[in-house]
Amino acid sequence: MPSIFSVGITEIDDFQVILERMITPEQQPILHYWRTHPEAGGWSTEKIVELTIEVGQTMVSALEAVIANHLESNIALVLEGDYLIPSLATQMLFAGIPNQGRVQAVFLYEDDAAQLRENFLRREPVGCMGGSQTIGTDRAASSSVVGGFRADVGGDCYII
């Protein structure tokens, strides 16, 4: 899609990795949680969802600066990833720069855990970025619940 519209695409996970590298666990423990607590991957769906949302909320100020930069330079950008919090897209100002309807969000919502699991297996091959043939239904269910959290947003957000 980005190549069709000639816009850049950036994974929010990339920003999380940058922040994790630049900020210590003592300064921002939530940004380091997944790496410092490997057992979190085996948590219940509810706890994984809470952690995902908390990481997203922690990243809002950094993403707000990126969005403000793109509003100021008038260069389109697509941000993609699990840490995108719907309220970010509905803000009127980004670091003092008016949105003026230029920031919108589209959330792809998949409620079929089997389809999500298949997507994870395709996207994260065994041995690459922690990919495993044992990606469980809990992770897929967590993604579905996070999608449901996003589905209740309103504003300039669209759920597909």
Structural domain harbouring 94: 2-159
Nearest to 77 by CA among 63, 57, 93: 63
Number of domains in the chain: 1
Walk along the chain (160 residues) and give the pLDDT tens digit of each residue: 556 667 888 999 899 999 999 999 999 999 999 889 988 878 887 888 888 889 999 999 999 999 999 999 999 999 988 888 888 888 999 999 999 999 988 877 777 777 777 766 776 655 444 444 444 445 555 554 455 554 454 555 444 4
Residue 116, token pair as written in the block:
């999500």
CB 49 within 8 A of CB 143: no
Q: pLDDT for 97-110, tens place per residue?
A: 999 999 988 877 77
For residues 22-46, one letter each, b for 16 or more C-beta atoms within 10 angstroms of the residue's C-beta and e for the rest, the string is eeeeeebeebbbbeeeeeeeebebe
Residue 10, token pair as written in the block:
């950036």
Please list the residues that pair with 77 across neighbouring strands.
8
Tell me how far apart the alpha carbons of residues 155 and 55 are, in angstroms, rounded to a whole number: 22
Tell me how far apart the alpha carbons of residues 47 and 87 are, in angstroms, rounded to a whole number: 21
Parallel, antiparallel, or unpaired for β 93-94 and 157-159? unpaired
